Amino acid sequence: MGFLTLGFEAEALSYDYSASIECLAHPQKPLYNGGIIQNPELNDGLKGWIPFGDSTIEHRESLGNKFVVAHSRNKPYDSVSQKIYLRKGLHYSLSAWIQVSETNVPITAVVKTTKGYKFGGAIYAEPNCWSMLKGGLIAETTEVAELYFEARKRKVVVQAVDKQGSPLRNASISLTMNRFTVTAFENEMKWYTNENAQGNENYNDADGLLQYAKKNNIGVRGHNIFWDDPSYQPSWINSLSPDQLNSAVEKRVNSIVARYKGQLIGWDVVNENLHFSFFENKLGQNFSPRMFNEAHNIDGQTTLFLNEYNTIEDSRDGLPAPPKYIQKIREIQSLNKQLPLGIGLESHFPNSPPNLPYMRASLDTLAATGLPIWITELDVASQPNQAGYFEQVLREAHSHPTIRGIVLWTAWSPQGCYRMCLTDNNFKNLPTGDVVDKLLNEWGKTTVSGTTDENGFLETTIFHGDYEMEISHPVKKNYTITHQMQVHEFKKSTQFIQLSI
């Protein structure tokens, strides 16, 4: 891990807009001459620098570059750190030059404070060259905090055993990250599709798509039970009295949730209820808490999502801003604090350059709720830089440690896509499709493989994601076990799996 710098905007300091998107043979000089960081160019050995977690750090020099190496790491957050003094309300600019010893790895700068963990920026670091991480944060308190770095990978330990539970030596294990693991149907689960005429329910399209997804081991988000936008309602409900509408609502939630109970990875219960209030205006302000609670009573094991646009993509829209989003979460929890809630962020980015610092800060704020966060409908408006902006947003989302999944809103049709396609009508990649393929390859689409030791163990470190694991053993010829597994961020640093073959 290379030397790092931390400077801040205060007094006479003006902001330094310089940045590097190339991986360089030699790191550049620290911004602001190191700012508040002690020994930023490492001319005084390890002075000011300490290990974070269980790592061991060393001062080294190569080709004129002085740097700190953090090795003997067992956890994603084992790294180098430094105590820094923050003053409440000040904006801090953070930059670091980082190198890793293995293939491209997402590295996040984290500041540990009494208020929790603040994510200051992220970069995909590479071996044999130096990548510039640039970000920042706003101090919430005046205190001594600690800056460190974290990799978005997790240690996985697999043990192969026989039917009697004895370890199997020399078992072959391969782990392959699944290409696409989750989908959402564009319209097939929406009320105006399922009940176009009152009393005439039709789930044929949704049923067919769900069966296809199951056959291909693809999880499905339930999008959606209700949509609070008055423009997207079944036409027949506009003439209903409040009592009639309430009966129709009860029938709807019981019908669709019971039909797909236990088959989905999440429900968008009341879509876009920060921007709109169709049902609240007609049935009362407790509509959302009530529907979330009823959906949970029917399908108790499935995560219930709020789902909104402009929360991370447009800082000018105050309606779905993170504080308002959190307020709505608390409102929904007012009837039942045990609801398994999730945060859905549609992420329909405009045709202007994405405001990545705002996106990052918004994710940090929402992460403080402790709820799972999903990017649910990601696309970028059509313009010459669409693919470039798309890649920036994908990298920012994937590098944030609290993002549990990313769903793209790129469903193809002969008439065109909503805003962004990945392929043309001959299913040849467009530039946006090239971005997806490039990042999937970069983020671990290749297979990790190895053989177990004398105790039946194989230990490896891999990216967060969904994997297919295959295990075979030379004693059992033509016999292979396939296992689906998820690797995500948990409190425990190591994920342990034992399989019998």
Q: Which of these, 346, 336, 409, lies nearest to 373 by C-alpha position?
A: 346
Structure tokens at 40: 């930023």
Q: Which of these, 247, 245, 250, 267, lies nearest to 189 by C-alpha position?
A: 267
Structure tokens at 106: 């997402």
| Beta-strand runs (E) in 322-372 | 341-345, 348-349
Which residues are within 8 A (CB) of 141 and not within 5 positions of it... i.e. 6 or more apart? Answer: 86, 88, 113, 114, 115
Structure tokens at 478: 């033509």
Q: How far apart are CA 160 and CA 458, in angstroms?
A: 8
Structure tokens at 119: 């994510």
Cis peptide before 224 (omega within 30 of 0): yes
Q: How far apart are CA 267 and CA 306, in angstroms?
A: 9
Per-residue burial over 384-400, b = 16 or more CB atoms within 10 Å of its CB, e = otherwise? eebbbbbbbbbbbbbbb
Q: Which of these, 409, 394, 486, 495, lies nearest to 443 by C-alpha position?
A: 394
List 150, 346, 377, 396, catalytic entry: 377
Which residue type is seen at 445?
K
- β-strands 465-473, 131-138: how paired? unpaired
CA 409 to chain centre: 15
Whether 439 contacts 395, CB under 8 Å = yes
Please report the sign of the dihedral spanned by the C-alpha atoms of residue 348, residue 353, residue 358, residue 361.
positive
Cβ atoms within 10 A of the Cβ of 275, count? 14
Q: How far apart are CA 292 and CA 201, in angstroms?
A: 22
Q: How far apart are CA 277 and CA 296, in angstroms?
A: 21
Whether 32 contacts 16, CB under 8 Å = yes
Structure tokens at 139: 């101090």
3-class DSSP assignment, residue 123: strand
Structure tokens at 65: 């570059």
Q: Which of these, 359, 428, 436, lies nearest to 390 by C-alpha position?
A: 436
- C-alpha to C-alpha distances, 472 to 9, 68, 217, 284, nearest whole angstrom: 57, 41, 22, 59
What does residue 366 show for φ and ψ, rounded to 5 degrees? -65, -35
* Residue 454 a catalytic site member: no
β-pair partners for 2: none
Question: Which active-site residues does the annotation give?
Answer: 377
